[in-house]
Structure 1
Amino acid sequence: MAKSYKLLFGALVVLALLVSPIASSRKLAKPNKHKPAARSHSNYTATPSASDAYGSGGWLSAGATYYGAPNGDGSDGGACGYQTAVGQRPFSSMIAAGSPALFKGGKGCGACYEVKCTSNPACSGQPATVVITDECPGGVCLAEAAHFDMSGTSMGSMAKPGMADRLRAAGILKIQYKRVPCKYSGVNIAFRVDQGSNPFYFEVLVEFEDDDGDLSSVELMEAGCGTWTPMVQNWGALWRFNSNTGKALKAPFSLRLTSDSGKVLVATNVIPAGWKAGATYRSLVNYS
């Protein structure tokens, strides 16, 4: 009997040695950064050295890559929820997916940065402005304190004339960046109502904010209410509001926006009575 146990134990040891190299060599699949994994708010602790050069005039160091078509817009709006708008004015494909220090769990959606490169002979050294519209969550995106995974269009914009393809073929670029105000000339803030909204649940995408470009909070006021109620960041640039009373929400809705630096702006009755899920409502206001 003891001999049988010894033989069985020896067989198990051999099996473990055979299986463990296979398991240890298995590679994890790369996350799809173009689609949010979960629609929930992520806590974020600010990293001043990575993203807060706004207004200081100082340049910070970062890495840069590109994804998608060489002359394309990278993604369909990805983890910020902007969808096809990134390829149209005013974004015009000048966008980037930001590493966690830039994306900030979605609170960094819409922030604008100047980027430039001098580390490659194809670099022009002239700055271009990009908007954070997606998340770059892992792998190469965590190699530096800040990383921009840019659209092919925005990557090429840092190149000397006629050398965009050469710059895009360079792999990981060392670049410089700084936070700058967003400027959407002639465009006011837009509110796109999510398809899942109904009389008891309201969710809205906020886009095209001048100046800071990103928001720290959004509040809603129902018709005839007179008080502001905080909305919750659902994911990316989408904010939601649930009826706590069991009664249908009463439109028109006014929305009060607070930017990253604390500037407050009110879009009065911007969501009309009879609003429709999936519709976009343009306001008459912007931060500048």
Structure 2
Amino acid sequence: MAVLVFSSFLVLTTMVMAGMVAGQDWDTAFATFYGDMSGGATMGGACGYGDLNQQGYGLQTAALSTALFNNGQTCGACFELQCYNSTWCAPGSIQITATNFCPPDLSKPIDNGGWCNPPRKHFDLSMPMFVKIVKDYHAGIVPVQFRRTPCVKQGGIRFTMQGNPNAILVLVYNVAGAGDVTAVSVKGSNTDWSQMSRNWGENWQTNVQLLGQAVSFQVTTSDGKTVESDNVVPQSWQFGQTFQSSKNF
């Protein structure tokens, strides 16, 4: 896949704390881990991000249970987690991005293997992140407190052009601020603005013919803010290419 960015190099995402989202109180959930200290699988799964290392999300990610995933609408949101009310707890907290879905296992009870079954709020973390909030990974599962935090990114919003000429899919990622995208509009150099529809995760679809046109996007996040990236995709674009805006939230 070709990657074109309007900067001197493709910057990676850093997930760091930048103050609490106003009005966000602590809620309670549980956390487990997958893989080993090498990180295990790093695919964006149900959010459509693909290789999380390549896309810049790394291991600071989590798969969310049904109660939190919200049919993919939570993809890209950032959270602070800390272990609480357990002898396994270590001090401090972590910041993660929602990048995948933790499917329920209805063959198991919610307190014995069905960790992601409704209505439980649950985060499945990479092992390197899990051991930051517990004294020993043998804890297995721990209660946590969590709250939304702003997403801090390096570089602008990124757009990967996918699909085919009749049904163009655009993966929208590296979104700062609230992180979770609620609406995307698209405009070709020869067309008017039109609303895209969420296909799955953070893949947004349009049936507007855009090949051979420069393409602009308006991205709106769950806090109601919108960023417009004018002509971020050049006229010569091809499927499989990724383009980076000069703007972010």
TM class by smaller structure: 0.7 to 0.9
Shift, 1:57, TM fit: 4.2
Amino acid at match of 1:81: G
Contact 1:74 1:93 in 2 (8 A): no
Amino acid at match of 1:141: C
Within 5 A, what are the aligned runs for 1:40-119?
Answer: 54-72=21-39, 74-84=41-51, 86-88=52-54, 90-119=56-85
**Aligned equivalents of 2:151, 2:205: Cα separation in 1:** 24
Residue 198 of structure 1 corresponds to which residue in structure 2?
A: 164
Q: Equivalent pairs: percent with the same residue?
A: 33
Call closer, same or farther: CA 1:73–1:187 in 2, change over 3 Å.
Answer: farther
Contact 2:65 2:118 in 1 (8 A): no
**Aligned equivalents of 1:264, 1:72: Cα separation in 2:** 34
Q: Secondary structure at the match of 1:141?
A: coil
In structure 2, runs of 5+ residues without a counterpart are: 1-19, 106-114
Shift, 1:93, TM fit: 0.7
Q: Secondary structure at the match of 1:204?
A: strand
Q: Is the strand fraction higher in 1 or 2?
A: 2
**Aligned equivalents of 1:273, 1:242: Cα separation in 2:** 17
Shift, 1:55, TM fit: 2.4
Residue 125 of structure 2 corresponds to which residue in structure 1?
A: 150
**Aligned equivalents of 1:204, 1:153: Cα separation in 2:** 31
Task: Let me know the Cα RMSD of the aligned residues.
Answer: 2.0
Call closer, same or farther: CA 1:157–1:187 in 2, change over 3 Å.
Answer: farther
Shift, 1:200, TM fit: 2.7
Shift, 1:129, TM fit: 0.2
**Aligned equivalents of 2:210, 2:78: Cα separation in 1:** 37
Aligned partner (choices 221, 224, 240) of residue 259 of structure 1: 221
Q: Is the helix fraction higher in 1 or 2?
A: 1
Contact 2:88 2:139 in 1 (8 A): no
Shift, 1:198, TM fit: 2.8
Q: Does 1:170 align with 2:132?
A: no
Amino acid at match of 2:247: V
Larger Rg: 1 or 2?
1
Shift, 1:107, TM fit: 1.2
Shift, 1:256, TM fit: 0.7
Call closer, same or farther: CA 1:91–1:248 in 2, change over 3 Å.
Answer: closer
Shift, 1:251, TM fit: 1.5
Call closer, same or farther: CA 1:89–1:206 in 2, change over 3 Å.
Answer: closer
Shift, 1:123, TM fit: 2.2
Contact 1:62 1:144 in 2 (8 A): no
TM (norm. structure 1) is: 0.71
Q: Does 1:269 align with 2:241?
A: no
TM (norm. structure 2) is: 0.82
Q: Secondary structure at the match of 2:25?
A: coil
Between 233-242 and 53-62, report the one with greater CA deviation.
53-62
Shift, 1:202, TM fit: 1.2
